[in-house]
């Protein structure tokens, strides 16, 4: 029987929303799906996963060497349990992009990347050329399918289920050649860009690193993530982990506000699935106004303080 395995992403405390988005994708395959949660002391995370609509079984693999998101360790566990699954899905996040190619290589199959739509269990659509074209992907039906799900293209599945939780013993030892050093987050307490419901971004129009504090302040005032265009990153106004776009992070927040961003196609690729796009740019002919739901041709250095005042 065909069956799908979804690899859960989490930070050791809470389940990443990308898991529920993978579940939405899996539901269109027309076959049951399980979710595997790997880590140390993951019972509470497994309970979160059990609430995801459509999930049949939540499989926990609890071991100290799985506590850190090392692809070399996690991939070995997935391969060890892969025999009963025809499809293995992971998110197209940093974690998934690190893990899924390794799983595909160990299984000796090609990976399908960035699934944005499902036609059937072996027929998918994915964006190419910075989102300017959509390609049909027909995967062979006689081999195991390993794929990443373009999380920006899917809404999260509901959370009203109560799936069975089962425990599995780790089937592989820790890698002797790779070790986890540390995780650093440049955003402080701000929401992660790839999961934030609201994102405030600045571009070259911010003019300096010091002026970018206006973006941070506005983001903090509404509990939003802080992003940037590639031009702002290249200019040294902010760190590169804030970059949104084709060569940065692909996001789909409910609200995306862009200040001083002209709207190059590479940036638009990263935000086109956002719920509402608001753009502020003094150039009334800026390309970003073509995709914005709300556009304001004005000086951002006037608009941001006024907006901040209205919010406080």
* Domain ranges (residues) in the chain: 4-168, 198-311
* 114 phi-psi bin (left φ>0, alpha ψ -120 to 50, beta other): left
User: Rounded CA gap, 206 and 202, in Å?
Assistant: 6
User: Rounded CA gap, 117 and 76, in Å?
Assistant: 28
User: Minimal CA–CA distance to 229: which of 269, 187, 192?
Assistant: 269
Strands 87-91 and 145-149: parallel
Handedness of CA 187, 191, 193, 199 (dihedral sign): negative
Categorize the per-residue pLDDT at 204 as very low, low, confident or very high, splitting at 50, 70 and 90: very high
* CA trace torsion 225, 228, 230, 232 (10° rounding): -150
User: Rounded CA gap, 38 and 58, in Å?
Assistant: 11
User: Rounded CA gap, 226 and 83, in Å?
Assistant: 42
CATH fit for domain 198-311, picks 3.30.70.1560, 3.20.20.70, 3.40.50.1220, 3.40.50.12500: 3.40.50.1220
**Across the chain, what does the average pLDDT equal?**
94
- With b for 16 or more beta-carbon neighbours within 10 A and e for fewer, the 29-62 pattern comes to bebebbbbbbbeebeebbebbbbbebbebbbbbb
CB 267 within 8 A of CB 261: yes
Indicate the pTM of the whole model.
0.85
Take residue 65 and report the two structure tokens written for it. 């060497």
CB 308 within 8 A of CB 218: yes
Calculate mean pLDDT across residues 196-217: 96
* 256 phi-psi bin (left φ>0, alpha ψ -120 to 50, beta other): beta
**CATH topology identical between 4-168 and 198-311:** yes
Segment 270-311, tens digit of pLDDT: 998 899 999 999 999 999 999 999 999 999 999 999 999 998
Take residue 174 and report the two structure tokens written for it. 């820790």
If you ran DSSP here, which 8-state letter would residue 176 be given?
S
Segment 123-173, tens digit of pLDDT: 999 998 877 789 999 999 999 999 999 998 999 999 999 999 999 999 888
Categorize the per-residue pLDDT at 1 as very low, low, confident or very high, splitting at 50, 70 and 90: low
pLDDT(188) > 80: no
The structure tokens 């974690």 sit at: 95
Calculate mean pLDDT across residues 253-262: 96
pLDDT(6) > 60: yes
Residues 6+ apart with CB under 8 A from 32: 3, 4, 56
Can you name the residues that pair with 112 across neighbouring β-strands?
147
pLDDT(207) > 80: yes
pLDDT(234) > 60: yes
Categorize the per-residue pLDDT at 261 as very low, low, confident or very high, splitting at 50, 70 and 90: very high
Calculate mean pLDDT across residues 25-52: 97
Residues 6+ apart with CB under 8 A from 85: 3, 4, 5, 34, 144
**Percentage of the chain modeled with pLDDT above 90:** 84
CATH class of 4-168: alpha beta
CB 12 within 8 A of CB 68: no
pLDDT(192) > 70: yes
**pLDDT for the residue 79:** 97
């Amino acid at each position: 029987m065909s069956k799908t395995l979804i690899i859960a992403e989490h930070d050791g405390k809470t389940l990443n929303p990308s898991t529920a988005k993978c579940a939405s994708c899996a539901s269109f395959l027309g076959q049951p799906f399980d979710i595997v949660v790997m880590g140390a002391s993951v019972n509470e995370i497994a309970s979160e996963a059990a609430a995801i609509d459509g999930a049949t079984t939540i499989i926990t693999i609890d071991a100290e060497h799985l506590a850190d998101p090392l692809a070399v360790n996690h991939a070995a566990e997935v391969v060890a349990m892969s025999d009963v699954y025809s499809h293995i899905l992971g998110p197209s996040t940093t974690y998934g992009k690190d893990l899924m190619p390794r799983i595909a290589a160990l299984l000796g199959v090609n990976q399908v990347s960035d699934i944005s739509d499902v036609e059937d269990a072996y027929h998918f659509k994915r964006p190419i050329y910075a989102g300017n074209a959509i390609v049909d992907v027909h995967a062979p039906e006689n081999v195991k399918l390993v794929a990443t799900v373009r999380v920006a293209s899917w809404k999260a599945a509901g959370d009203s289920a109560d799936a069975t939780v089962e425990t599995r013993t780790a089937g592989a030892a820790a890698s002797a050649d790779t070790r986890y050093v540390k995780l650093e987050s440049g955003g402080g307490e701000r929401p992660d860009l790839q999961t934030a419901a609201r994102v405030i971004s600045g571009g070259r129009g911010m003019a300096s690193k010091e002026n970018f504090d206006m973006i941070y302040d506005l983001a903090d005032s509404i509990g939003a993530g802080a992003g940037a265009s590639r031009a702002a990153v290249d200019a040294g106004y902010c760190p590169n982990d804030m970059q949104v776009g084709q060569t940065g992070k692909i996001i789909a927040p409910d609200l995306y506000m862009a200040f001083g961003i002209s709207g190059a196609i590479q940036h638009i690729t990263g935000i086109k699935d956002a719920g509402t796009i608001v753009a502020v740019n003094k150039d009334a002919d800026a390309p970003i106004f073509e995709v914005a739901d709300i556009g304001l041709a004005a000086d951002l250095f006037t608009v941001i303080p006024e907006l901040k005042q209205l919010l406080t």
